[in-house]
Amino acid sequence: MILKGELATGSPLPSERELMKQYGVSRSVVRETIIALANRGLLKTNPGFRPLVRKPDYDSALDSVGQLVAHLMADEEGVKNIFESRVFLEASLARWAALNARKDDIRELEEKLRCNREAVGVRRVFEATDVAFHHVLYTIPRNPVYPAIHRAYVDWLTEPWSSIEGAAKIDLMMYAGHEGIFEAIVDRDPDLAEETLRRHLNTAWEFVRSTFDFQAWADGSARPSVPSSSEPGQGQ
């Protein structure tokens, strides 16, 4: 209803009681849904007041795209195509960063790299810091479309990406890729930044290809999630 404009921007959401009656669900379901929509930026909440409808943003737009992506990613080839589109975009972002990153961008990238190094061997934390490092590349151009696209990739690729077996050795390999990307950006070498990023993500894809159960994916027992405005550091 929000996406279709049936609930106007700035208008209060119907009461919890009204929503419970309209959809035949419990109060807890209504409240969980409100939280989820607020996390996606579609509602503005304030304790003691009804949530207010917010104008759909890039994340909500990509949420609609995610319905199509879920069908495209029904097998290994589909996942590979989505993954390759990420490599294509992110390689360009790494090149752009090498040419245009500001001092504060470099500092943020360095901080995320440090956190990534400290998380080696702690799988879930390492995954979160991995996401956070890559997210910085999407923010450097200061174009709000790119971070939204990154959050979409995170959600679309979480399940296959998380299939990579956790081991300090693999974490160190992934960290080394991040370190190489960072050094190329610091050295203002766009060719090396692009090549290093491509090599890093292609290595990750090989791990995914060799560990993820694509047959279960095709059979329907595993399916990609759609964007839920995951923040950097959540998901993959």
Q: Tens of pLDDT along the chain (236 residues)?
A: 888 888 888 899 999 999 999 999 999 999 999 998 887 778 888 888 999 998 777 766 676 566 667 777 777 888 899 999 999 999 999 999 999 999 999 999 999 999 999 999 998 899 999 999 999 999 999 999 999 999 989 988 888 877 777 789 999 999 999 999 999 999 999 999 999 999 999 999 998 888 888 777 766 655 444 333 334 443 34
Q: Where are the domains of the chain?
A: 1-56, 59-219
**Which residue type does 60 have?**
S
Q: CA 90 → CA 32, 141, 185, distances in Å? A: 34, 12, 13
**Dihedral angle over CA of 178, 182, 183, 188, nearest 10:** 140
> Tokens 């950006």, residue?
185
Residue 193 structure tokens: 């930044």
| Burial degree of 52 (CB within 10 A; 0-12, 13-18, 19+) | middle
Contacts of 158 (CB under 8 A, 6+ apart): 224, 225, 235, 236
CATH class of residue range 1-56: mainly alpha
Q: What is d(CA 105, CA 228) in angstroms, rounded to the nearest whole number?
A: 26
Q: Is the pTM of this model over 0.75?
A: no
CA proximity to 110, closest of 178, 23, 15, 157 = 178
Domain 59-219, CATH homologous superfamily name and number: GntR ligand-binding domain-like (1.20.120.530)
